[in-house]
């Protein structure tokens, strides 16, 4: 049983990873984008309504998408779970989903956020090519130079209309404005698990899988990040670009939790050390001062004594002199 939502910006790899989870666990991937594209391809009334909106990179109306999702989840293969990919995309959809899942008695186990830097998203989306026959997804950046066909069936690959550069920006903007608030929403509900979505496909899958299977832990606390040694596929991006442009919440260059923890500890240690040495230094100063204080006092007392002695002596000799007179 696996009832999860895959959350993430366009290009974060939700579809690819959902297919892998589906293949391994036998729970269906329910992609709102695929359902809509299918409706467009079949030329249904709903598809005709959705087509222009999709090509503009905007969100199709909630009613249309919710209808498609409701139908899909009522199919027998979804009785033992589902992997929602691309739905919900805004707070209203999340609330509708919640009501729908309550109705069918299938509450969510977790919401997995695939965290990917904006620069990587751009590269992935602009370079994405798809096989019209088998649906295999390629990226021009990782294909052999000059290749334009599917390596499995030779079909000529195509580019999704909404993967054209002019639409990508719009989609990322829409994600930021409408979908991003779901991170907070599901985090508050204790369902969110953040998974670092960059690196080798297999590594991302393993992180996602372990996040999906984590039971018992407070879901909101789970953050699955890649190990420090994991290979990087993404181009070097400055931290400023990462600046959580919209999509990502943590840079992929961030060290793995243990490392970060260590780094944090080290830092904290340093800080501690700093304060300790400052305290020591302070105490040293205090000790010196306290040591100096009694010495001064002693000297003062001794001086007073000496004065008193001199005065006594003087008055003694004055008395003596008076007696002689
Ligand atoms: P995707 O394949 O998930 O990137 O979706 C492609 C397009 O389908 C999006 O840019 C939207 O136009 C539309 N779409 C997919 N899912 C939704 C959704 N949950 N709500 C509204 N529109 C959606």
Q: How far is the CA of 210 from the centre of ligand 1 (A)?
A: 27
Q: How far is the CA of 57 from the centre of ligand 1 (A)?
A: 8
| CA dist., res. 85 & res. 66, Å (int) | 13
pTM metric for this prediction: 0.69
- pLDDT one-digit tens code per residue, 56-81: 999 999 999 999 999 999 999 999 99
pLDDT at 1: 83
Query: Residue 88 CA: which ligand 1 atom is closest?
Result: 19
- pLDDT one-digit tens code per residue, 275-304: 333 333 333 333 333 444 455 566 566 655
32 lines ligand 1 (CB under 6 A): yes
225 lines ligand 1 (CB under 6 A): no
Average pLDDT by consecutive 10-residue portion of the chain (325 residues)?
Answer: 96 95 96 96 95 96 97 96 98 98 95 97 95 92 93 96 94 97 97 96 96 67 54 32 33 32 35 34 36 54 55 46 44
128 lines ligand 1 (CB under 6 A): no
pLDDT at 263: 36
CA 245 to chain centre: 12
User: Active site includes 308?
Assistant: no
Q: Locate all alpha helices (DSSP H) within the chain, ordered by sequence.
A: 14-25, 32-42, 45-55, 62-73, 91-103, 118-127, 165-174, 181-188, 201-213, 239-242, 257-324
> 140: which 2 tokens?
């021009």
| CA dist., res. 205 & res. 197, Å (int) | 9
| CA dist., res. 62 & res. 47, Å (int) | 14
Q: Going by CA atoms, what residue is nearest to atom 1 of ligand 1?
A: 33
Cβ atoms of 250 and 194 within 8 Å: the answer is yes
Active-site entry in 37, 49, 70, 160? 160
| CA dist., res. 79 & res. 82, Å (int) | 8
Cβ atoms of 17 and 79 within 8 Å: the answer is no
Cβ atoms of 91 and 181 within 8 Å: the answer is yes
Cβ atoms of 116 and 8 within 8 Å: the answer is yes
89 lines ligand 1 (CB under 6 A): yes
53 lines ligand 1 (CB under 6 A): yes
């Amino acid at each position: 049983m696996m009832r999860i939502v895959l959350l993430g910006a366009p290009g974060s790899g939700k579809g690819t990873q959902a297919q892998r989870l589906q293949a391994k666990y036998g729970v269906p991937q329910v992609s709102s984008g695929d359902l809509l594209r299918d409706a467009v391809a079949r030329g249904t009334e709903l598809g005709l309504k959705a087509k222009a909106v999709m090509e503009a990179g905007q969100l199709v109306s909630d009613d249309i998408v919710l209808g498609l999702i409701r139908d899909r989840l009522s199919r027998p293969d979804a009785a033992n779970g589902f992997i929602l990919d691309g739905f919900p995309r805004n707070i209203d959809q999340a609330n509708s989903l919640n009501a729908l899942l309550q109705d069918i008695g299938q509450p969510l186990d977790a919401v997995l956020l695939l965290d990917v830097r904006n620069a990587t998203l751009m590269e992935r989306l602009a370079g994405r090519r798809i096989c019209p026959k088998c649906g295999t997804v390629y990226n021009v950046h990782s294909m052999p130079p000059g290749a334009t066909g599917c390596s499995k069936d030779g079909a000529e690959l195509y580019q999704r209309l909404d993967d054209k550069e002019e639409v990508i920006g719009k989609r990322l903007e829409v994600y930021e404005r409408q979908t991003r608030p779901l991170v907070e929403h599901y985090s508050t509900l204790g369902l969110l698990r953040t998974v670092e979505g960059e690196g080798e496909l297999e590594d991302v899958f393993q992180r996602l899988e372990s996040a999906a299977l984590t039971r018992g832990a407070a879901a909101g606390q789970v953050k699955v990040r890649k190990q420090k040694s994991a290979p990087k596929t993404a181009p070097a991006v400055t931290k400023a670009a990462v600046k959580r442009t919209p999509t990502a919440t943590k840079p992929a260059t961030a060290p793995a939790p243990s490392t970060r923890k260590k780094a944090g500890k080290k830092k904290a240690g340093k800080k501690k050390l700093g304060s300790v040495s400052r305290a020591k230094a302070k105490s040293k100063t205090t000790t010196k001062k306290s040591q100096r204080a009694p010495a001064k006092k002693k000297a003062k007392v001794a001086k007073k004594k000496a004065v008193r002695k001199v005065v006594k002596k003087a008055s003694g000799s004055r008395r003596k002199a008076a007696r002689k007179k």
